[in-house]
Amino acid sequence: MNGSSDPAKILVVTAHPDDVDFGVAGSIATWTDQGISVTYCIVTDGSAGSAIPGIEASALKGIRQDEQRKAAAEVGVTDVHFLGYADGSLSVSLELRRDIARMIRIVRPERVVCQSPERNWDRIRASHPDHLAAGEATLQAVYPDARNPYSYPELLADGLEPHVVEEVWLMASPRSTHAVDITATIERKLAALRSHHSQLAGTENLEEMIRSWAAAAATALGLPEGRLAEGFQVVDTR
């Protein structure tokens, strides 16, 4: 089911490289197949950890950007932006709100997809502090910053006119009510995730884990038996 009619443009904002692929890559493959333009905005530099020991943080930044671009290509996305905030210490700052509002005014999406700022007690790993901060900052950038001509006058001075986002889709929300059926795109989601070698090297049960999550989401959100889904809380922000 959908929260509204299909948009022409979607902006996806996540804290780390690979968050988008865990949370929404199956849906993104579905959307790009429909001709919807999807842009990624990755907030942090992803330098705070790796499954491969010995990688220097300075090198890891570039590795993770390359991995995210490869993952994006698997689901039909070529427009990928990195804000470069420090991994592991993200906070809801005025600067972060401004930078996300800038991306909204550049892309001018009808829909923004981001991480839920509400902690999910059933899946605590979905509620990394950086995820919560990125979600909250994105919601504040959607309303009021991106639409308010008096917020961050430097954006207006750069020719970036205010923009109203019609809806926000929250991934990993404990209040998810909307499902996107990803049965036909699960292999592309898995291919996107496997692009993140620095994070998932040696993860033998990746496919089993992702399929089990998607099956559980489909069941919880009322899809027929045997289907796979990603779930979202849809917020009207007009």
Show the DSSP H helices in the chain as ranges.
19-33, 57-74, 94-107, 129-142, 153-157, 186-194, 197-200, 206-220
Tens digit of each residue's pLDDT (9 = 90 or more) over 136-186? 999 999 999 999 999 999 999 999 999 999 999 999 999 999 999 999 999
Q: Enter the tokens of residue 40.
A: 């990624």
Q: What percentage of the chain exceeds 90 in pLDDT?
A: 88
Q: How confident is the model at residue 4 (pLDDT cuts 50, 70, 90)?
A: low
Domain layout of the chain by residue ranges? 9-236
Task: Check residues 226 and 54 and name the one with the higher pLDDT.
Answer: 226
Is the pLDDT confidence value at 70 over 80? yes
Is the pLDDT confidence value at 27 over 90? yes
Supply the mean pLDDT for the chain: 95
Q: Enter the tokens of residue 130.
A: 């950086």
Dist. CA 176–CA 146, nearest whole Å: 25
Q: How confident is the model at residue 57 (pLDDT cuts 50, 70, 90)?
A: confident
Nearest to 112, CA basis, from 151, 149, 140: 140
Name the residue type at position 94. Answer: L
Fold classified for 9-236: Rossmann fold (3.40.50)
Tens digit of each residue's pLDDT (9 = 90 or more) over 181-214? 999 999 999 999 999 999 998 888 999 999 999 9
Is the pLDDT confidence value at 2 over 70? no
Q: Are 233 and 222 in contact (CB under 8 A)?
A: no
Tens digit of each residue's pLDDT (9 = 90 or more) over 165-176? 999 999 999 999
Q: How confident is the model at residue 1 (pLDDT cuts 50, 70, 90)?
A: very low
